[in-house]
Copies of this chain bind each other. A is one copy, B any other.
Amino acid sequence: MSATLAADEALARRRRAGEEVLSLASGEIGLPVLTVLRERLAEASGRNAYGPVAGSRELRAAAAGYWARRGLDTDPDLVVSGPGSKPLLFALLPAVGGDVVMPVPSWVSYAAQARLAGRRPIAVPTLPGQGGVPDPEALRARVAQARAEGLDPRCVVVTLPDNPTGTIADPATVQRLGEAARELDLIIISDEIYCDLVFDPADRAVSPAVFAPERTVVTTGLTKNLALGGWRTGVARLPDGPAGREVRGRLLAIASQIWSSTAAPVQAAAAYALTEPPEVVEWVATARRLHGTVVRAVADRFTAAGAVLAPVRATCYLYPDFEPLRDHLGAAHGVHDGDALAALLARRHGVGLLPGSAFGESRRPLRVRAATSRLYGETDAERTEALSAEDPLRLPWIRRSLDRVAEVLDDLTR
């Protein structure tokens, strides 16, 4: 079971049982749907045809425009829609074939999807402060070793910006990844679902599609930037050229056998969103500011408690490491690994977060991932207020969560 979805359901059960919980496990974005998107969905409620497996022309053209505005010229015929970027990522594995290289730590589902598709996950560490992209040198060595061992690595999955660390691989690293992938003949699957959630305007996640256009598949969706996880909609951009067209053909065949098409009314609303009219752009900017403010405030609490973490530059995740507190955690709480740390926080304090092992790490490191996107309020009214607040940290319900984080960490580390 997906670790995030399972943690989320466990927290919901505790909450229903009347317990106080602090939900830092799931990256679901707790913000209301932008009104104009609700209207577009309602207007499209009469659409009940399957339509093309790849998605409507309207949606594919909108996605092509979205990518073009980010420097990636895109042929709409090379866009494939799916009910979320998750099923697209899953279907890409058999479409590309072979075993799957991925960074560690990385999103909970990459390795699970690889195993489900009968592929072997091959883990490669990332560079310090640059999560989501395997260290290109380590990648070369690991792929050579894997091939010598009889494995068949044919693609590498990267996350730009990164979940779980909230960091961004440097463009130079991404360029070196592209070169390594070309040398090793790997397809790059670049999960860019957080690309609109980079906080500093001077900062940017540069896609490997810039450096290795002939071999990079890009996926994204509306789950993170527009808080539409529950609508289930994503898009993939296949590389131009013979290799890309071949992967596209196989991806469509697989999609046609697993999900047929994306819910038609959702496609219509997604197409509108991807054209990025001003109100959509403004909403995303507002949400991005909120994410940045809250995730950094939570990161500060962890730093103050003695954990170490790389500065959070995007997403709504932080990935603190309690290594400096190892002796204390062992002596005071009998906690010697990340799993025990997460379990203690859940049991003792009702705080749900995920241990590093959920992201492919060994149990030993005292690392956990906290997601802050559920702290904006319990009701649509609170969440709307959080979006429009000049200083969301002063809203009583957000302040309370921050205080709770500080309290819990104080209890843990004192």
Within the complex, what minimum Cβ distance (angstroms) separates A59 from chain B? Answer: 13
Q: Give the residue of B45, B52, B233, B259 whose beta carbon is less than 8 angstroms from that of A84.
A: B259
Chain B proximity of A237: nearest CB distance (Å): 20
Once the chains bind, are B252 and A1 in contact (CB under 8 Å)? yes
Determine if B5 and A41 form an interchain contact, defined as CB atoms under 8 angstroms apart.
no
Across the interface, A232 reaches (CB within 8 A) one of B46, B52, B83, namely B83
Is A257 a contact partner of B94 (Cβ separation < 8 A)? no
Q: Does A41 contact B42, Cβ atoms closer than 8 Å?
A: yes
Query: Do residues B49 and A45 form an inter-chain contact, with CB atoms below 8 A?
Result: no
In the complex, A87 has a CB within 8 A of chain B: yes
A28 / chain B contacts, CB cutoff of 8 Å: 49-50
Using known A-B contacts A84-B260, A264-B231, determine if residue A38 contacts B46 with beta carbons closer than 8 Å: yes
Contact residue among B113, B231, B257 (Cβ-Cβ distance under 8 Å from A257): B113
Find out whether the CB atom of A259 lies under 8 angstroms from the CB atom of B87: yes
Q: A51 contacts which of B1, B37, B39, B230 (Cβ < 8 Å)?
A: B230
- The residue of chain B having its C-beta at the shortest distance from the C-beta of A117 within the complex is B118
Task: Count contacts on A: residues with CB < 8 A to the other chain.
Answer: 58
> Is A380 interfacial (CB-CB < 8 Å)?
yes
Which residues of chain A in 113-160 are interfacial with respect to chain B, using CB atoms and an 8 Å cutoff?
113, 116, 118
Beta-carbon contact of A259 and B256 below 8 Å: no
Q: Which of B8, B263, B380 contacts A50 (CB 8 A)?
A: B8
A86-B258 contact given A46-B38, A47-B230, A263-B232, CB 8 Å threshold? yes
Once the chains bind, are B50 and A229 in contact (CB under 8 Å)? yes
A264 and B42 contact, Cβ closer than 8 Å, known pairs A90-B257, A254-B116, A258-B258: no
| A190: interface (CB < 8 Å) | no
A75-114 vs B, Cβ < 8 Å mask (1 yes, 0 no): 0000000011011001000100000000000000100110
Q: Closest residue to A254 on the B side, CB-wise?
A: B116
- A227's nearest neighbour on chain B, judged by CB, is B48
Name A8's closest neighbour in chain B (CB-CB).
Answer: B50
Q: Choose from B1, B33, B256 the contact partner of A2 (Cβ within 8 Å).
A: B256
Name the residue on B nearest A43 (C-beta): B42
Across-interface contacts of A228 in B (CB, < 8 A): 48
Q: Out of B42, B253, B262, name the residue touching A45 (CB < 8 Å).
A: B42
A225 to B279, CA, bound (A): 39
Asked whether, in the complex, the Cβ of A33 is within 8 Å of the Cβ of B50, the reply is no
Interface string of A40-66 (1 = CB under 8 A from B): 011001111111110000000000000
Chain A, residues 1-26, CB within 8 Å of chain B (1/0): the string is: 11001101100100000000000001
Extra contacts, 10 of them, besides A48-B230, A50-B230, A86-B260 (Cβ < 8 A), are A1-B252, A47-B230, A49-B229, A84-B260, A87-B259, A118-B118, A232-B262, A232-B263, A265-B266, A266-B266
Closest 7 CB pairs of A and B: A42-B42, A230-B264, A2-B256, A38-B45, A1-B253, A48-B230, A41-B45
